[in-house]
Amino acid sequence: MRIEGVERTQLSFPEKLVGLLELVKFPHTIFSMPFALMSTFLAADGLPGIRELLLILAALVMARNCAMGFNRLADTQYDSTNPRTKRWYILQYQVGRRTLLAFTLASALLFVGFSWALNWLTFLLSPVALLVIIGYSFTKRFTNLSHFFLGTALALAPLGAWVAIRGSFDVVPCLLALAVLLWTAGFDIIYACQDVEHDQRVGLNSIPKSLGTENGLRLSSLLHFLMIAVLLILAGYAGLGKIYLGGVCFTAVLLFYEHSLVKPGDLSRINVAFFTVNGFISLALMVATLLDIFLS
């Protein structure tokens, strides 16, 4: 693989590691990790064991690294033609495709290993989880509903964390997973608005491409409204009180602000809406939930 105008230099191990973390957008772990922690503490009815907590966090990081690494490998041809993602294509060339493949495989194996260390059910379900999170990478090729597949992939985090603690499923993690699915699908639709022209050119699918940017943003708003409704229902099933409900109200305000930033004719502030606001949403909900568990 040769990219015109890009010199292939021998990168040191630290430089390759930095490149890999940028390729998998490691800071975006903040989107799913707080929900996994919420589920962990709810399942434990308080503070979980340190061993279980560390294993859950490690499994989550490895699963996400695997998913993002695989996505970069699978989408190489599309990253190369999209001005927004061209830098990932160049960085993959500089780091080395084999290095990225080895990183992805190692992350998958470590995820399975950490799942095995938690309990038998998480181990049995780990291959299924891997199929879901890597399968998302292909969905834009054949369906406009890829946003919901991404939401499903992130929704596995609270489900897996609950199973890791209790070894079974329940209504609470399912509601939390549904909230994550709706939230993720909603913000991914917003993010996809900036790729409509590219998707039309290369034959990829998305809701903004199918319905138009304006209708896509309306659907995103509806999904986020439903997310708030699910979070309110969760309070009753999980026995959460005023502090948690305050966090849900704050989340609603942040979502309203997120949608105020993006207009059909002005997508210039999508990065603020996508990265900054959604990062605050996940952290605020986690903090409110943990405070409610320990103080109520």
**Which CATH number do you get for residue 207?**
1.10.357.140
* Average pLDDT rounded to a whole number, residues 119-132: 97
Tokens of 266: 């002005």
In tens, the pLDDT along 243-262 reads 999 999 999 999 999 999 99
Higher pLDDT, 89 or 26: 89
In tens, the pLDDT along 54-106 reads 999 999 999 999 999 999 999 999 999 998 888 889 888 889 999 999 999 99
In a domain, 7, yes or no: no
In a domain, 233, yes or no: yes
DSSP state of 277: I
pLDDT of 26 over the 90 cut: no
What b/e sequence results for 8-35 when a residue is b if at least 16 CB atoms lie within 10 Å of its CB, and e otherwise? eeeeeeeebeebbeebbeeeebebbbbb
In a domain, 3, yes or no: no
Q: Are 209 and 144 in contact (CB under 8 A)?
A: yes
pLDDT for 157 = 95
Q: Output the pTM of the full model.
A: 0.93
Q: Residue 3 class from Cβ within 10 Å (0-12 exposed, 13-18 middle, 19+ buried)? A: middle
- Nearest C-alpha neighbor of 260 from the set 247, 246, 272: 272
* Average pLDDT rounded to a whole number, residues 136-153: 96
Q: Which residues contact 83 (CB under 8 A, 6 or more apart)?
A: 198
Domain that holds residue 89: 13-295
CA distance 217 to 74: 27
> Helix, strand, or coil here: 263?
strand
Q: Tokens 């985090």, residue?
A: 157
Domain total of the chain: 1
- Number of other CB atoms surrounding residue 266 within 10 Å: 9
pLDDT of 1 over the 50 cut: no
In a domain, 2, yes or no: no
In a domain, 269, yes or no: yes
Q: Are 259 and 225 in contact (CB under 8 A)?
A: no
What b/e sequence results for 69-96 when a residue is b if at least 16 CB atoms lie within 10 Å of its CB, and e otherwise? bbbbbbbbebbbebeebeebbebbbbbb
Tokens of 269: 């502030």
- Number of other CB atoms surrounding residue 142 within 10 Å: 10
Q: Are 175 and 168 in contact (CB under 8 A)?
A: no
In a domain, 258, yes or no: yes
